[in-house]
Homo-oligomer: A and B are copies of this chain.
Amino acid sequence: MGNSVATGFAQAELIAVLAAVTANEPRVMTVQAGKALPSGPFESSHRSLQAGLRDWVESQTGHPVGFLEQLYTFADGDRDPGAGTGMRRISISYLGLVREQAAPGAGQPEWHGWYEYFPWEDRRDGADDRAGGLDRIAASLTAWADSQPHLRAERHQRVDFTFGLNGMDWNEDLVLQRYELMYEAALIPEAGGQPGFGQPMQGDHRRILATGIARLRAKIKYRPVAFEIMPGSFTLLQLQRTVEALVGLSLHKSNFRRQIDQQELIEETGETTAETRGRPAMLFRYRPSVLEARQMAGTRLPISRS
Protein backbone atom coordinates (compact mmCIF):
# COMPACT_ATOMS: atom_id res chain seq x y z
CA MET A 1 0.00 0.00 0.00
CA GLY A 2 1.20 3.49 0.57
CA ASN A 3 2.66 4.98 -2.53
CA SER A 4 2.95 1.93 -4.74
CA VAL A 5 0.80 2.08 -7.80
CA ALA A 6 1.26 -1.57 -8.59
CA THR A 7 -0.92 -4.32 -9.96
CA GLY A 8 -3.99 -5.12 -7.90
CA PHE A 9 -6.08 -6.60 -10.65
CA ALA A 10 -8.68 -9.17 -9.89
CA GLN A 11 -11.71 -10.90 -11.19
CA ALA A 12 -14.84 -9.64 -9.49
CA GLU A 13 -17.87 -11.77 -8.85
CA LEU A 14 -21.20 -11.14 -7.17
CA ILE A 15 -22.85 -13.80 -5.01
CA ALA A 16 -26.39 -13.47 -3.72
CA VAL A 17 -28.10 -14.95 -0.68
CA LEU A 18 -31.76 -14.42 -1.51
CA ALA A 19 -34.20 -15.39 1.18
CA ALA A 20 -37.95 -15.85 1.24
CA VAL A 21 -40.33 -17.57 3.63
CA THR A 22 -43.00 -19.90 2.26
CA ALA A 23 -45.20 -22.08 4.43
CA ASN A 24 -43.26 -21.08 7.53
CA GLU A 25 -40.06 -22.37 6.02
CA PRO A 26 -37.20 -20.06 5.13
CA ARG A 27 -35.86 -20.70 1.67
CA VAL A 28 -32.87 -19.57 -0.27
CA MET A 29 -32.48 -19.27 -4.01
CA THR A 30 -30.03 -21.71 -5.51
CA VAL A 31 -28.65 -22.93 -8.82
CA GLN A 32 -27.13 -26.26 -9.81
CA ALA A 33 -29.67 -28.43 -8.06
CA GLY A 34 -29.21 -26.67 -4.77
CA LYS A 35 -25.46 -27.02 -4.74
CA ALA A 36 -24.61 -23.37 -5.31
CA LEU A 37 -25.78 -19.85 -4.69
CA PRO A 38 -26.53 -17.73 -7.74
CA SER A 39 -23.51 -15.76 -8.82
CA GLY A 40 -21.90 -14.16 -11.79
CA PRO A 41 -19.28 -11.70 -12.88
CA PHE A 42 -19.65 -8.06 -12.01
CA GLU A 43 -20.18 -6.37 -15.37
CA SER A 44 -18.90 -2.92 -16.12
CA SER A 45 -22.31 -2.05 -17.46
CA HIS A 46 -23.71 -2.02 -13.95
CA ARG A 47 -24.11 1.43 -12.52
CA SER A 48 -23.09 0.18 -9.13
CA LEU A 49 -22.85 -3.05 -7.24
CA GLN A 50 -26.17 -2.64 -5.53
CA ALA A 51 -28.08 -1.49 -8.58
CA GLY A 52 -26.66 -4.20 -10.79
CA LEU A 53 -27.57 -6.92 -8.40
CA ARG A 54 -31.05 -5.53 -7.82
CA ASP A 55 -31.85 -5.46 -11.52
CA TRP A 56 -30.61 -8.94 -11.99
CA VAL A 57 -32.50 -10.39 -9.06
CA GLU A 58 -35.76 -8.77 -10.06
CA SER A 59 -35.52 -10.15 -13.55
CA GLN A 60 -34.82 -13.60 -12.20
CA THR A 61 -37.45 -13.82 -9.50
CA GLY A 62 -40.14 -11.64 -10.99
CA HIS A 63 -40.53 -9.95 -7.63
CA PRO A 64 -39.02 -6.75 -6.35
CA VAL A 65 -36.30 -7.06 -3.75
CA GLY A 66 -37.41 -5.20 -0.68
CA PHE A 67 -34.18 -5.33 1.18
CA LEU A 68 -30.71 -5.71 -0.20
CA GLU A 69 -27.56 -5.37 1.81
CA GLN A 70 -23.94 -6.14 1.30
CA LEU A 71 -22.75 -9.09 3.33
CA TYR A 72 -19.05 -9.57 2.95
CA THR A 73 -16.26 -9.53 0.43
CA PHE A 74 -13.96 -12.53 0.17
CA ALA A 75 -10.77 -12.97 -1.71
CA ASP A 76 -9.93 -16.53 -2.50
CA GLY A 77 -7.09 -17.52 -0.31
CA ASP A 78 -9.32 -16.66 2.61
CA ARG A 79 -10.25 -20.28 2.44
CA ASP A 80 -10.94 -21.45 -1.07
CA PRO A 81 -7.57 -22.74 -2.32
CA GLY A 82 -8.32 -21.19 -5.70
CA ALA A 83 -6.01 -21.22 -8.66
CA GLY A 84 -2.41 -20.15 -8.66
CA THR A 85 -2.91 -18.08 -11.74
CA GLY A 86 -1.71 -14.88 -10.14
CA MET A 87 -5.10 -13.34 -10.81
CA ARG A 88 -7.15 -13.21 -7.64
CA ARG A 89 -10.85 -13.67 -7.50
CA ILE A 90 -12.88 -11.34 -5.35
CA SER A 91 -16.39 -12.36 -4.35
CA ILE A 92 -18.78 -9.71 -3.14
CA SER A 93 -21.77 -11.26 -1.40
CA TYR A 94 -25.19 -9.74 -0.81
CA LEU A 95 -28.20 -10.60 1.30
CA GLY A 96 -31.60 -9.91 -0.23
CA LEU A 97 -35.15 -10.49 0.94
CA VAL A 98 -37.89 -11.41 -1.48
CA ARG A 99 -41.58 -11.33 -0.76
CA GLU A 100 -42.63 -14.56 -2.42
CA GLN A 101 -40.93 -17.26 -4.28
CA ALA A 102 -41.35 -17.24 -8.04
CA ALA A 103 -43.76 -19.65 -9.60
CA PRO A 104 -41.67 -22.60 -10.70
CA GLY A 105 -41.27 -22.45 -14.44
CA ALA A 106 -38.79 -23.39 -17.11
CA GLY A 107 -35.36 -22.09 -16.38
CA GLN A 108 -36.53 -20.59 -13.10
CA PRO A 109 -34.09 -20.87 -10.26
CA GLU A 110 -34.87 -23.31 -7.52
CA TRP A 111 -35.48 -22.55 -3.89
CA HIS A 112 -34.30 -24.77 -1.06
CA GLY A 113 -35.17 -24.67 2.60
CA TRP A 114 -32.15 -23.26 4.32
CA TYR A 115 -32.33 -25.76 7.16
CA GLU A 116 -31.46 -28.46 4.64
CA TYR A 117 -27.99 -26.96 4.77
CA PHE A 118 -28.00 -26.28 8.51
CA PRO A 119 -30.44 -28.70 10.14
CA TRP A 120 -29.05 -27.90 13.59
CA GLU A 121 -30.04 -24.27 13.23
CA ASP A 122 -33.76 -25.06 13.46
CA ARG A 123 -34.67 -25.17 17.13
CA ARG A 124 -38.35 -24.42 16.85
CA ASP A 125 -40.55 -26.58 19.02
CA GLY A 126 -41.87 -28.66 16.16
CA ALA A 127 -38.46 -29.26 14.63
CA ASP A 128 -37.37 -32.86 14.43
CA ASP A 129 -34.46 -33.15 16.79
CA ARG A 130 -32.92 -36.10 15.02
CA ALA A 131 -32.77 -34.10 11.81
CA GLY A 132 -30.83 -31.39 13.57
CA GLY A 133 -28.53 -34.00 15.02
CA LEU A 134 -27.30 -31.82 17.84
CA ASP A 135 -26.45 -34.88 19.88
CA ARG A 136 -24.27 -36.26 17.14
CA ILE A 137 -22.63 -32.89 16.63
CA ALA A 138 -21.98 -32.53 20.34
CA ALA A 139 -20.44 -36.00 20.47
CA SER A 140 -18.17 -35.30 17.53
CA LEU A 141 -17.10 -31.96 18.88
CA THR A 142 -16.38 -33.43 22.29
CA ALA A 143 -14.16 -36.02 20.68
CA TRP A 144 -12.43 -33.28 18.74
CA ALA A 145 -11.89 -31.23 21.88
CA ASP A 146 -10.47 -34.22 23.76
CA SER A 147 -8.12 -35.17 20.96
CA GLN A 148 -5.69 -32.38 21.85
CA PRO A 149 -4.99 -32.52 25.57
CA HIS A 150 -3.39 -29.10 25.86
CA LEU A 151 -6.30 -27.42 24.07
CA ARG A 152 -9.00 -29.43 25.76
CA ALA A 153 -10.34 -26.91 28.25
CA GLU A 154 -10.31 -24.06 25.81
CA ARG A 155 -12.03 -26.09 23.12
CA HIS A 156 -14.67 -27.39 25.49
CA GLN A 157 -15.48 -23.87 26.56
CA ARG A 158 -15.78 -22.77 22.97
CA VAL A 159 -17.99 -25.72 22.02
CA ASP A 160 -20.28 -25.16 24.99
CA PHE A 161 -20.64 -21.47 24.32
CA THR A 162 -21.13 -21.79 20.59
CA PHE A 163 -23.68 -24.59 20.72
CA GLY A 164 -25.34 -23.71 24.01
CA LEU A 165 -24.27 -26.88 25.82
CA ASN A 166 -23.65 -27.63 29.51
CA GLY A 167 -25.80 -24.91 30.91
CA MET A 168 -25.03 -22.21 28.39
CA ASP A 169 -27.88 -20.66 26.43
CA TRP A 170 -28.36 -21.25 22.75
CA ASN A 171 -27.57 -18.05 20.89
CA GLU A 172 -29.35 -18.06 17.56
CA ASP A 173 -27.01 -15.46 16.10
CA LEU A 174 -23.92 -17.65 16.15
CA VAL A 175 -24.71 -19.37 12.86
CA LEU A 176 -21.35 -18.62 11.33
CA GLN A 177 -19.38 -19.45 14.45
CA ARG A 178 -21.07 -22.85 14.65
CA TYR A 179 -20.28 -23.56 11.04
CA GLU A 180 -16.67 -22.47 11.42
CA LEU A 181 -16.26 -24.61 14.50
CA MET A 182 -17.60 -27.68 12.73
CA TYR A 183 -15.38 -26.85 9.81
CA GLU A 184 -12.36 -26.77 12.08
CA ALA A 185 -13.39 -30.06 13.61
CA ALA A 186 -13.64 -31.57 10.12
CA LEU A 187 -17.37 -32.29 10.27
CA ILE A 188 -17.91 -30.48 7.01
CA PRO A 189 -17.34 -32.18 3.66
CA GLU A 190 -16.27 -28.90 2.11
CA ALA A 191 -13.27 -29.05 4.44
CA GLY A 192 -12.52 -32.62 3.52
CA GLY A 193 -14.41 -33.84 6.56
CA GLN A 194 -17.11 -36.42 7.08
CA PRO A 195 -20.42 -35.82 5.38
CA GLY A 196 -23.63 -36.23 7.32
CA PHE A 197 -24.29 -32.82 8.80
CA GLY A 198 -26.47 -30.97 6.34
CA GLN A 199 -26.26 -30.69 2.59
CA PRO A 200 -22.92 -29.44 1.33
CA MET A 201 -22.48 -26.75 -1.31
CA GLN A 202 -19.92 -25.81 -3.85
CA GLY A 203 -16.81 -23.95 -2.73
CA ASP A 204 -17.51 -21.83 0.29
CA HIS A 205 -21.10 -21.09 -0.61
CA ARG A 206 -22.37 -22.74 2.52
CA ARG A 207 -20.24 -20.41 4.57
CA ILE A 208 -21.66 -17.44 2.72
CA LEU A 209 -25.15 -18.71 3.39
CA ALA A 210 -24.29 -19.03 7.07
CA THR A 211 -23.08 -15.43 7.03
CA GLY A 212 -26.37 -14.36 5.50
CA ILE A 213 -28.51 -16.22 8.00
CA ALA A 214 -26.49 -14.81 10.87
CA ARG A 215 -26.83 -11.28 9.55
CA LEU A 216 -30.55 -11.61 9.07
CA ARG A 217 -31.07 -13.08 12.54
CA ALA A 218 -29.11 -10.27 14.12
CA LYS A 219 -30.84 -7.59 12.10
CA ILE A 220 -34.36 -8.74 12.74
CA LYS A 221 -33.99 -7.77 16.38
CA TYR A 222 -33.50 -4.09 15.89
CA ARG A 223 -34.82 -3.37 12.46
CA PRO A 224 -38.19 -4.27 10.98
CA VAL A 225 -36.87 -6.45 8.18
CA ALA A 226 -39.44 -9.19 8.63
CA PHE A 227 -41.98 -7.04 6.81
CA GLU A 228 -39.91 -7.14 3.66
CA ILE A 229 -40.75 -10.80 3.44
CA MET A 230 -44.44 -10.65 4.45
CA PRO A 231 -47.38 -10.18 2.10
CA GLY A 232 -49.24 -6.87 2.11
CA SER A 233 -51.56 -7.85 4.92
CA PHE A 234 -51.10 -10.53 7.50
CA THR A 235 -52.19 -11.70 10.90
CA LEU A 236 -50.04 -11.40 13.98
CA LEU A 237 -49.61 -15.15 14.09
CA GLN A 238 -48.38 -15.23 10.51
CA LEU A 239 -45.87 -12.55 11.37
CA GLN A 240 -44.77 -14.48 14.41
CA ARG A 241 -44.38 -17.71 12.44
CA THR A 242 -42.26 -15.93 9.88
CA VAL A 243 -39.96 -14.48 12.50
CA GLU A 244 -39.76 -17.87 14.19
CA ALA A 245 -38.81 -19.49 10.91
CA LEU A 246 -36.00 -17.03 10.40
CA VAL A 247 -34.54 -17.12 13.89
CA GLY A 248 -35.16 -20.83 14.29
CA LEU A 249 -36.82 -20.47 17.68
CA SER A 250 -40.33 -20.52 19.07
CA LEU A 251 -41.45 -17.24 20.52
CA HIS A 252 -43.77 -16.35 23.36
CA LYS A 253 -47.05 -15.34 21.81
CA SER A 254 -48.35 -12.51 23.93
CA ASN A 255 -44.95 -11.00 24.53
CA PHE A 256 -44.29 -11.05 20.83
CA ARG A 257 -47.54 -9.19 20.22
CA ARG A 258 -46.80 -6.66 22.88
CA GLN A 259 -43.39 -6.01 21.44
CA ILE A 260 -44.77 -5.55 17.95
CA ASP A 261 -47.50 -3.15 18.85
CA GLN A 262 -45.51 -0.99 21.20
CA GLN A 263 -43.19 -0.37 18.31
CA GLU A 264 -46.17 0.95 16.37
CA LEU A 265 -44.91 -0.61 13.19
CA ILE A 266 -48.24 -1.98 12.03
CA GLU A 267 -51.87 -0.97 11.89
CA GLU A 268 -55.16 -2.83 11.47
CA THR A 269 -56.57 -3.03 7.99
CA GLY A 270 -60.07 -3.42 9.45
CA GLU A 271 -60.52 -6.82 7.82
CA THR A 272 -60.34 -10.16 9.48
CA THR A 273 -59.38 -13.51 8.11
CA ALA A 274 -61.06 -16.90 8.44
CA GLU A 275 -57.89 -18.89 8.58
CA THR A 276 -58.59 -22.45 9.57
CA ARG A 277 -60.25 -22.84 12.90
CA GLY A 278 -60.62 -20.63 15.93
CA ARG A 279 -61.51 -17.00 16.31
CA PRO A 280 -60.77 -15.04 13.15
CA ALA A 281 -57.71 -12.85 13.37
CA MET A 282 -57.47 -9.21 12.52
CA LEU A 283 -55.41 -8.36 9.52
CA PHE A 284 -52.60 -5.86 9.80
CA ARG A 285 -50.48 -3.94 7.41
CA TYR A 286 -47.07 -2.45 7.78
CA ARG A 287 -46.92 1.28 8.43
CA PRO A 288 -44.21 2.60 6.20
CA SER A 289 -44.68 6.10 7.59
CA VAL A 290 -42.91 5.37 10.81
CA LEU A 291 -40.32 3.33 9.01
CA GLU A 292 -37.60 5.88 9.16
CA ALA A 293 -38.21 6.94 12.70
CA ARG A 294 -38.15 3.36 13.97
CA GLN A 295 -35.48 2.29 11.57
CA MET A 296 -32.83 2.45 14.18
CA ALA A 297 -33.90 1.27 17.54
CA GLY A 298 -31.88 2.34 20.46
CA THR A 299 -28.69 2.58 22.25
CA ARG A 300 -27.79 0.88 25.48
CA LEU A 301 -25.54 3.64 26.65
CA PRO A 302 -26.12 5.47 29.92
CA ILE A 303 -26.38 8.89 28.34
CA SER A 304 -26.34 11.86 30.66
CA ARG A 305 -29.15 14.24 29.82
CA SER A 306 -28.44 17.40 31.71
Contact = CB atoms under 8 A, between A and B. Distances in A.
A233 interface: no
Interface in A272-306: 292-293, 296, 299-304, 306
A174 B174 CA distance: 26
A247 B72 contact: no
Most buried by B among A73, A158, A172: A73
B299 A221 contact: yes
> How often does this chain occur in the complex, in copies?
2
A161 interface: yes
Interface stretch (A7-15, A128-136, A183-191, A192-200): A7-15
Nearest to A15: B1
Contact of A8 (B1, B41, B48, B171): B41
B292 A1 contact: no
Contact of A299 (B44, B72, B172, B306): B172
Which of the four size classes fits the interface of chain A? 35 or more
Given A78-B48, A299-B172, A13 B8 contact: yes
A77 interface: yes
Contacts of A174: 296
A302 B251 contact: yes
A50 interface: yes
Nearest to A304: B252
A92 B253 CA distance: 43
A35 interface: no
Given A10-B12, A41-B7, A46 B77 contact: yes
Contacts of A222: 300
B296 A173 contact: yes
Nearest to A160: B293
Given A1-B38, A9-B11, A221-B301, 16 more contacts: A9-B10, A10-B42, A12-B75, A46-B75, A46-B77, A49-B75, A49-B78, A73-B92, A90-B92, A157-B292, A161-B292, A171-B296, A173-B296, A252-B302, A252-B304, A255-B302
